[in-house]
Amino acid sequence: MLDLSTLNPPQREAVDCTEGPLLVLAGAGSGKTRVITCRIGHLVLHRKVAPESILAVTFTNKAAGEMKERVRELVGRGRTKGMIVSTFHSLGVRILRRDIERLGYKRNFGIYTTSDQLGLVRQALREVSDDGRKVDTEGILWRISGWKNRLIPPDRVQPRLNDPDELLAATIYPRYQRLLMACNAIDFDDIIMLTVRLLQEQPEVLDHWQERFRYIMVDEYQDTNASQYLFVSLLAKKYRNLCVVGDDDQSIYGWRGADVGNILAFEKDYPGCRVVKLEQNYRSTGTILEAANHVIRNNSVRTEKRLWTDAGEGRPIDLVIAQDDEEEASQVVERLQMERYRHNLSFGDFAILYRTNSQSRAFEEQLRFEDIPYVLVGGMQFYERKEVKDALSYLKVIDNPRDEQSLLRIVNFPRRGIGDGTVLKINQWSLEHDCPLLEAFGRVEEIEGVTGAVREKVLAFHRLVEESVRDFRHAGNLAARVKGLFDRLGLEEELYRTIEDPATARRKVENVAEVINSLAAFEERIPGATLSGFLEKVSLMDEDRFAGKDKKEHGKDAVTLMSLHSSKGLEFPFVFLVGFEEEILPHKRTVEEGMPIDEERRLCYVGITRARRHLTITRCLNRKKYGKLQERQPSRFLEEIPGRLLQVHEGSVKKASTEEEAEALAQDFFARMRSMLQQE
């Protein structure tokens, strides 16, 4: 039986309000999922609403599945028949399967994957482009996707005349759509776009679904984009029994089309709607919530609310000020260990959260050095990323010119006009003449079928590798020399040139820069460091993975590393929020481009409110960029947290360069640990 007496007054109000539009502003950790599921149960059990009249929409299949299961537990499996709890896209497919024939498609339409889509883009390109220039098909698809999410059909696109890539994408868009239709296929973005079109153009179809779904609930409403907003508005227009749940303070996906204005304008869109604020937090301590409240109240446009808890103040927030990013990682891992011993915790109780994925490198290395299991969420391990492997391949060839696998990886990165056919001929010639591949590149004039222009490009590549090998024969100053090599190669320019999405390109550039930072840190730690030693360290990290030493990483007993974006919706007893500096949080791009800082502040708010028992914030006085230390400024968000909530820790972490020093540091660590436990 559904017991509503356990709900607090605002939660109970949200559950009881079943008729008319309702906006539930649910602060972090305020029990919004419980409210949604109890509201559905209340409709079915107490208000006797037919289950098939209820629609609940959320953003991920996982969230939809969990919500569906919780509703079944509340009302019983037999009472959920016909009820729809799904994602926006699953709902769209359901509607299209019934009536897409009205738009000229057949009901058995296919949904194309990214590889299928790229194939169609290339086919469309062959119809319009014959100038021979290299075209970024992924970039074209990215632009088309953006237009579709804004509900802009091919005939209404207005490309910027000074942007040749956008002009080309606008030319390809109508051809791409015709090819999709000829294949009786749609892509992922079409699901919502075509569903909205169907509902707008076919009144009887709209009426059918409006009659079917008389009670509609939307979770994470602050994350809806233009097409999803219109989709919901059309379905709810007739009966207006629309309940949206969300938190404008946690709207952090503007970069992918989410519009926080949708939730902020709900009261205007639905005059007379009921507004319920869920402000009691069941997750965090009072200190953590006070810090979060002080930060987020500085946003200029938001709905006023203030999180509170009756769980007590808890400990002050630790603010760790490190000399540089390597010391930051050392401090975090040491404090993690001490908290674990102090409170008898598992590694799974800890999370390290950062603004950009490139920040994970130092923490990954330190955790591996301490043999601490971890899981990297929302991204590949640092040394598994493509751009990192490409950069390391240059270093591997310099260290071992006979590494032919790495040589083949770099022969046309950056692009230098040496095609696959040419490489195949050279490789075949090297096999026939029992000649190392690099030497074969230098003897390309002896190889038949390689034209003069291409031959010069091959010889230039051979000279580049040979000169680089000579340059790295001596130890010392490795990071600076690698930076010089990468600058000479133009790796940064290549990534920006070949990757259409600026945010993706920037992340990859940051990762390449982090390779240099890693090498600089290795030089500091190891006297007389060599390129071979650095590459050996990287290889041994891979060896640990392949040997099965990371089996715990995907279990519960592992430290979680993730970006702030990936952390939304999650919680951890102990959180380390790292890199609290200007140009990291808030991000450099936001500051330099003069963009509103509100979304970066919301991202900070999300990070703070992931912590349940204790929060540690870290920042560096200096941070490596391309291997050289640069002075850093504290994040403006740090100044928004009252000093009385912070306990500041400054000082250096000692680093061991010998086994004896490592043993001494270990003994010191455990002595401090015993002292701490005796004081409690």
Q: According to the model, what pLDDT value does residue 540 have?
A: 58
With a CB cutoff of 8 Å and minimum separation 6, the contacts of 644 are none
Binding residue positions for ATP: 26-33
Q: According to the model, what pLDDT value does residue 660 have?
A: 60
Q: Does some domain include residue 292?
A: no
Active-site residue flag, 219: yes
The beta-strand segments (E) located in 336-468 are 350-354, 374-377
pLDDT band at 532 (very low <50, low <70, confident <90, very high): confident
pLDDT over 90 percentage in the chain:
49
- Structural Rg of the chain based on CA atoms: 29
Binding residue positions: 26-33
Q: In whole angstroms, what is the distance from residue 545 CA to residue 340 CA? A: 24
Of 58, 80, 137, 250, catalytic: 250
Q: Does some domain include residue 290?
A: no
With a CB cutoff of 8 Å and minimum separation 6, the contacts of 72 are 80
Active-site residue flag, 32: yes
Q: What is the pLDDT of residues 377-395, one digit of tens each?
A: 876 677 778 888 888 888 8
Domain CATH code at residue 114 = 1.10.10.160
Q: In whole angstroms, what is the distance from residue 125 CA to residue 378 CA? A: 33
- Whether residue 412 is predicted with pLDDT greater than 90 in this model: the reply is no
Q: Does some domain include residue 676?
A: no
- Name the token pair of 1: 């039986």
Of 136, 187, 219, 598, catalytic: 219
Domain CATH code at residue 635 = 3.40.50.300
With a CB cutoff of 8 Å and minimum separation 6, the contacts of 116 are 185, 187
Please say which residue of 517, 546, 575 terminates a domain.
Answer: 546
Of 32, 68, 355, 601, catalytic: 32
Looking at the fold, whether 472 and 541 belong to one and the same domain comes out as yes
Q: In whole angstroms, what is the distance from residue 147 CA to residue 170 CA? A: 10
Looking at the fold, whether 158 and 207 belong to one and the same domain comes out as no
**Per-residue b/e over 271-295, b at no fewer than 16 CB within 10 Å?**
eebbebbbbbbebbbbbbbbbbbeb
Domain containing residue 170:
110-183
Q: Does some domain include residue 137?
A: yes
Looking at the fold, whether 249 and 345 belong to one and the same domain comes out as no
Looking at the fold, whether 135 and 160 belong to one and the same domain comes out as yes
Q: According to the model, what pLDDT value does residue 129 have?
A: 64
Q: Does some domain include residue 331?
A: yes
Q: Does some domain include residue 567?
A: yes
Q: What is the pLDDT of residues 287-344, one digit of tens each?
A: 999 999 999 999 989 999 999 999 899 999 999 999 999 999 999 999 999 999 999 9
- First-to-last alpha carbon distance for the chain, in angstroms, is 45
Looking at the fold, whether 580 and 649 belong to one and the same domain comes out as yes
Looking at the fold, whether 261 and 179 belong to one and the same domain comes out as no
pLDDT over 70 percentage in the chain:
91
Looking at the fold, whether 617 and 524 belong to one and the same domain comes out as no
Q: Does some domain include residue 672?
A: no
- Whether residue 501 is predicted with pLDDT greater than 70 in this model: the reply is yes
Q: What is the mean pLDDT of residues 273-295?
A: 96
Looking at the fold, whether 394 and 329 belong to one and the same domain comes out as no
Looking at the fold, whether 172 and 36 belong to one and the same domain comes out as no
Of 13, 18, 33, 303, catalytic: 33
Active-site residue flag, 287: no
Of 610, 613, 624, 636, catalytic: 610
Looking at the fold, whether 413 and 508 belong to one and the same domain comes out as yes
> 29 versus 407: which is more confidently predicted?
29
Query: Judging by DSSP bridges, how do beta strands 572-577 and 628-631 pair with one another?
Result: unpaired
Q: What angle do CA 140, 358, 665 make, to 5 degrees?
A: 170
> 220 versus 501: which is more confidently predicted?
220
Q: In whole angstroms, what is the distance from residue 526 CA to residue 515 CA? A: 16
Q: What is the pLDDT of residues 550-609, one digit of tens each?
A: 433 444 689 999 999 999 989 999 999 999 999 999 998 888 877 789 999 999 999 999
Q: According to the model, what pLDDT value does residue 119 have?
A: 87
- Number of domains the chain contains: 4
Query: Judging by DSSP bridges, how do beta strands 559-563 and 350-354 pair with one another?
Result: parallel
Looking at the fold, whether 344 and 403 belong to one and the same domain comes out as no
Domain CATH code at residue 484 = 1.10.486.10
DSSP string, 372-386: --EEEESS--GGGSH
Of 189, 220, 387, 510, catalytic: 220
Q: What is the mean pLDDT of residues 220-239?
A: 95
Looking at the fold, whether 602 and 501 belong to one and the same domain comes out as no
- Whether residue 677 is predicted with pLDDT greater than 60 in this model: the reply is no
Active-site residue flag, 33: yes
- Whether residue 419 is predicted with pLDDT greater than 80 in this model: the reply is yes
Q: Does some domain include residue 308?
A: no
Please say which residue of 489, 519, 546 terminates a domain.
Answer: 546
Q: In whole angstroms, what is the distance from residue 122 CA to residue 628 CA? A: 43
